Amino acid sequence: MIILYTSPGCASCRKAKQWLKDNQLPFVEKNIFTTMLKEDEIKYLLSRCENGTEDIISVRSKAFQQLDCDIDDLSVSRLVEIVKQSPSILKRPIMISEKNMVVGYDDDEITAMVPQALRKVVENACNESCPNYPVCGKVRVS
């Protein structure tokens, strides 16, 4: 199951939501402003960041800049507290599944939300013996 963290008025969130629908991937949408994020949930999101907390924290947002601090100086508990008080510091959308996390909307990166087993089916579906290979199969190889 995919959890999609969104906010109202976010064009990238709408694109991500539509992409998930178009690709028939089940998801639960959580509006970060109307759904109170729990401490454990925020810690889990932070723990999934591969390159540090700036993966999901927008240090350029007004809300974060008003804090007048360096993100590297904040403890995890303080950062969790800040996110609970000002969820607008989170980048959006955030899509998270058991194995993947994608922040923002990017046509290439969002494909990580397709389960690996399904990706293998697609990869193996069109090979040189397929009559449509000259049209679609070679495009994926290029």
Q: Which residues are catalytic?
A: 10
User: Does residue 115 sit in helix, strand or coil?
Assistant: coil
- What phi and psi, each to the nearest 5 degrees, are found at residue 128? -60, -20
Strands 101-103 and 94-96 turn out to be antiparallel
Burial 2-11 (b: 16+ CB within 10 A, else e): bbbbbbeebe
Distance, in Å, from the CA atom of 11 to the CA atom of 92, rounded to the nearest integer, reads: 10
